[in-house]
A and B are shown apart, each in its own frame.
Chain A
Amino acid sequence: MGQTGNTEVAIEASHIVKTFGGAIAVDDVSLRIAPGEIHSIVGENGAGKSTLMRVMAGIIEADSGSVSVYGEPVGSGTKAAIDAGIALVHQELSLVPEMTVAENILLGAFPTTFGFTKYEELKEIASAALAEIGVSVDLDERVSRLSVALRQFVEIARAVARQPRVLILDEPTATLTPAETDYLLRMLQRLAEGGMAIAYISHRIPEVFEISSNVTILRDGKQVLSSPIVDLTPQEVIDSMVGRELKQDLESHRVANPGEVVLSARDITAPRVNNVSLDVRAGEIVGLGGLVGAGRSELVRAIIGADTRTSGRVTLTRNGETVTLSSYTSAVRNGVGYVPEERRTDGLALIMSVSDNIRLPNRQQLSRFGFKASRMITEFAQALADKVGLRPPEIQREAGQYSGGNQQKIVVAKWLGRKPDFMVLDEPTRGVDVGAKTEIHRLVKEMADNGTAVLVVSSDLPELLELSDVIHVMRDGRITGTLTRDEASEQSVMSLAAGEAEVVA
């Protein structure tokens, strides 16, 4: 294990600054990691961790600052970083699903003779890389057929196969079960003992204390502190991340007063969804818990018709009138709102204005004979921007210029304007700062208090527990249990989500 004060430095980043369209993402951050050291970089979502790591791996260019490996300055671009021995394991998996495990591990570095791939050698190197991290998986299997956890390990093998001197991992445990996480942490410790310098991004504090020797804390792009882990307590780390002392007790639960069933989904079957039925009542918030890949997003998309369902029937009842929802457009027309999981690709048109984004689902009421009513649009959008607390509340700005939290508020605003009878929110606060999160929670509760039936998918357990009046937990495309507010706890949700037996690799 590397000691602080060790004179040898594997990687050093000094005074890194990176801005995106005027917003500062990394603000003068310096970092040094010794060989054999595991250095954790922690911070809330949007604190600049991923940006810093992407700068170090040459994926994005810093506005100023420099990176060096073993004293040698690293040139710009991904190739220079790879040549210098820096390997990055992405937060989003970057494997090619239709290629085999072996091909993915050596993607971009196939051994060749005269341009022809040497498959025997390719497999040998891939198998050595897997052996080094202690994972066994069929080299010829297509990646699309692997579990999320195995894909994550293949991703790591891919980095390791390049025999890097510096390994950067960006939230590798985000989608793993506790047992899988444990396995991964042991693996990293072995790699560090072999002399690799490891930069480890996480916001799971226990993991950080378990494996790292040093920690750097970022907040709003700034370096709050870098310190040996032994000098800190978990509470101190959390306080530094958040910038204030986090209250341990959550906001008070609202008193739910559910009315009639508004949405009724019966026997829904779709890819990754197996014969699920559920009801949501007026004024009720129903939570969907489970691990990533359990089929929750697929279920809600099948219910509202955003994806086609193989079978099943969905009805929406309002004012005593029942309609069957057959397509997504009919669902929206009949009072369904949907905040999708991926706001940047599915939720917003980033290069269009806030006003245009809000106009999209509300365009019919904001037009006369198909022609837009500009004044109405401006007033309508401004009122919603104010209501959701958009900062700054400038509706002519491009949506893409706002931070993640504000972008999410725009997506919520789009649908609030329609006063939906049934509202679906998929990971409503992922990648959102604490302030925006509180605000979005307030809006969701307010919507329910006003009689909307709400269905929330969340992997954030405290959020799920705070919002939901009742929680359905999914695993492998089925609802494995339903918990009332009194029964629900992080432990009870997780045990239903993960199931009894967990096997790694």
Chain B
Amino acid sequence: MSQQTTPAPAAQAAPTEASRLAGILTWVSQNGIFVFTAVLILFALLFVDGFGSLFNITDVFHRAAPIGIVAVGMTFVVISGNYLDLSVVAQVATAGVILIAVSNSHGLFLAIIAALAAALLFALVNGTAVGIFKANAVIVTLSTTFIGLGLLRFFSGGSIFFGPPDGPIRAFGLGKIGPVPYSALVLVAMTIILGLLLNRTNFGFLVRSFGVNESATRLGGTNTALVIIGAFLVTAIAAMIAGFVLAAFSNTAVSNDGVGYEFRALAAIIVGGTSVFGGRGSVYRTFLGVIFVSVLTNILVLSGISFGYQQVALGVLIVLAVSLDALARKVAKR
């Protein structure tokens, strides 16, 4: 009896029109990024003047690094099924201001400690509201963005902080190996470390499992609040490092440094093929998504297209990517 109800391979029906379509859509929304990135880079090398120059490549890396570091961290929140962490806007700015201001007055070591403490605070507030009280992550993190930026403006008086003309921060900010700046190496290191964290540890497994089925994860004997706080903590620490990288590069920091990071990071994550429905996705895909978004932006800049149109392009890209993700899911369900 039981053998008959099992979908044994031999008994499988021929794939139907719908299931074939679902397969194609799922493949494109999850793996399309590999093809798209390759094609885009090839296109840029062949047809865009100045793309292949050393100066330009370094510039792309410099711009990609802080966004990418935020994005690989935020991938954890997205995979946990909690959409995104908008408060990275405040976190990036807070880290930058702390790095410059505190190291000016108290030294680099205390600046790092203070930034970590701030990251922990953001993660605890976001994680507690979302993980324990089950509040909506978008609204919670929109609010903590306000709280964070408000406090930052209050303490910083809204002023711009300048670092000393030389010293370790400056050296790091400007250092590079060939055309590759240190910041890009930090992005690569973060991608590898967070990739291992997501794929190889029990914590990473639980983040993904929570994103797939919260109830089953809880009933599997999991303290789900800790998992969510953890996902926000990974994001916050990544945002702090991104803030450091950004401030070290410009050697300045101001409270609106992080504006736009939430959206660019989300663009990289979604274009990379991580599903906003939770459960599916990876840090490595996000890395590719960062490359794609950065190269695309660079092409637009080099082609002399104005900032306004760049924003439009990025917005359209996200709408297309999330719609494809949702469509693939809808077709697969039928």
Size range of the chain A interface in the assembly = 35 or more
A473 adjacent to chain B (CB < 8 Å): no
Q: Which of A168-176, A181-189, A430-438 contacts B (4 or more CB under 8 A)?
A: A430-438
Chain A residue contacts of B208, Cβ below 8 A = 352
Chain B residue contacts of A433, Cβ below 8 A = 1-2, 5
9 other A-B residue contacts (CB within 8 Å) besides A361-B221, A372-B202, A391-B8: A22-B12, A22-B19, A60-B334, A332-B220, A356-B209, A360-B217, A360-B222, A367-B202, A436-B2
Q: How far is the CA of A23 from the CA of B205 in the complex (A)?
A: 29
Contact A220 B4 (CB under 8 A): yes
B49 to chain A, nearest CB (A): 45
Contact B7 A401 (CB under 8 A): yes
B9 adjacent to chain A (CB < 8 Å): yes
Q: How far is the CA of A350 from the CA of B212 in the complex (A)?
A: 8
Within 8 A of A (CB), among B245-268: none
Q: How far is the CA of A433 from the CA of B7 in the complex (A)?
A: 13
- The 8 A CB mask of B116-151 against A (1 = contact, 0 = none) is 000000000000000000000000000000000000
Task: For A403, give its contact among B6, B201, B202 (CB under 8 Å).
Answer: B6
Q: Which secondary structure characterizes the binding site on chain B? A: helix
Contact A392 B201 (CB under 8 A): no
Contact B221 A349 (CB under 8 A): no
Within 8 A of B (CB), among A70-99: none
- The 8 A CB mask of A356-380 against B (1 = contact, 0 = none) is 1101110110010011100000000
Contact A349 B2 (CB under 8 A): no
User: Taking A351-B280, A363-B205 as contacts, is the C-beta distance between A63 and B16 under 8 angstroms?
Assistant: yes
Chain B residue contacts of A198, Cβ below 8 A = none
Contact A360 B1 (CB under 8 A): no
User: Taking A367-B202, A372-B200, A436-B2 as contacts, is the C-beta distance between A352 and B220 under 8 angstroms?
Assistant: no
Instruction: Among B9, B19, B205, find the residue whose CB has the most chain A CB atoms closer than 10 A.
Output: B205
Task: For A439, give its contact among B2, B18, B212 (CB under 8 Å).
Answer: B2
Within 8 A of B (CB), among A322-356: 328-329, 332-333, 338, 340, 345-352, 356
Nearest opposing residue in chain A for B203, CB measure: A370
B279 adjacent to chain A (CB < 8 Å): yes
Task: For A360, give its contact among B12, B19, B216, B280 (CB under 8 Å).
Answer: B216
Task: For A349, give its contact among B4, B9, B209 (CB under 8 Å).
Answer: B209
Within 8 A of B (CB), among A18-65: 19, 21-24, 46, 60-61, 63
Contact B13 A350 (CB under 8 A): no
Chain B residue contacts of A220, Cβ below 8 A = 4-5
Q: How far is the CA of A63 from the CA of B221 in the complex (A)?
A: 40
Number of A-B residue pairs with CB-CB distance less than 8 Å in the complex they form: 126
Contact A349 B213 (CB under 8 A): yes
Chain B residue contacts of A283, Cβ below 8 A = none
Task: For B220, give its contact among A24, A361, A405 (CB under 8 Å).
Answer: A361
Please provide the 5 A-B residue pairs with the shortest distance between their CB atoms, ordered closest to farther: A435-B2, A332-B221, A23-B7, A360-B220, A435-B1
B312 adjacent to chain A (CB < 8 Å): no
Contact B216 A347 (CB under 8 A): yes
Chain B residue contacts of A401, Cβ below 8 A = 7
Q: Could you show 10 A-B contacts with beta carbons less than 8 Å apart?
A: A19-B13, A22-B7, A60-B334, A61-B18, A349-B216, A351-B212, A360-B221, A361-B220, A405-B5, A439-B2
B219 adjacent to chain A (CB < 8 Å): yes
Contact A349 B223 (CB under 8 A): no
Nearest opposing residue in chain A for B19, CB measure: A21
Chain A residue contacts of B223, Cβ below 8 A = 329
B153 adjacent to chain A (CB < 8 Å): no
Chain B residue contacts of A405, Cβ below 8 A = 2, 5
Contact B2 A24 (CB under 8 A): no
A346 to chain B, nearest CB (A): 5
Within 8 A of A (CB), among B16-55: 16, 18-19
- The 8 A CB mask of B171-214 against A (1 = contact, 0 = none) is 00000000000000000000000000000111101101100110
A209 adjacent to chain B (CB < 8 Å): no
